[in-house]
Amino acid sequence: MAHECDDICRDLHLYLDGEATVSTRTVISVHLEECPSCAHVFRFESQVRLVVARCCAEPVPDSLRVRVLQAIYTADP
């Protein structure tokens, strides 16, 4: 892996979180265009983030909340 790839990988999470500066974003997006291995890492990381975001955004259904609360209360002696 080239030296530039190390830098890209280090800053990739900032890029994915939207916290990278404009210049870093530009460097990364240009690099992703021409570096298949970093592009692969980027796709993988963004998929992971999508799944995690979806799981965290999912509200716990009321029925499940009630069941959990009942289990806690009935377990009490």
Residues engaged in binding Zn ion (CB under 5 A): 5, 35, 38
Q: Tell me the one-letter amino acid at 65.
A: R
Residue 13 beta carbon to Zn ion: minimum distance, rounded to whole angstroms: 15
Burial class, 38, CB count within 10 angstroms (exposed 0-12 / middle 13-18 / buried 19+) = buried
Residue 76 beta carbon to Zn ion: minimum distance, rounded to whole angstroms: 56
Q: What is the CB-side half-sphere exposure of residue 51 using CA atoms within 13 A?
A: 6
Nearer to Zn ion, 1 or 64 (CB): 1
Residue 35 beta carbon to Zn ion: minimum distance, rounded to whole angstroms: 3
Nearer to Zn ion, 20 or 35 (CB): 35
Cα 31 from chain centroid (whole Å)? 20
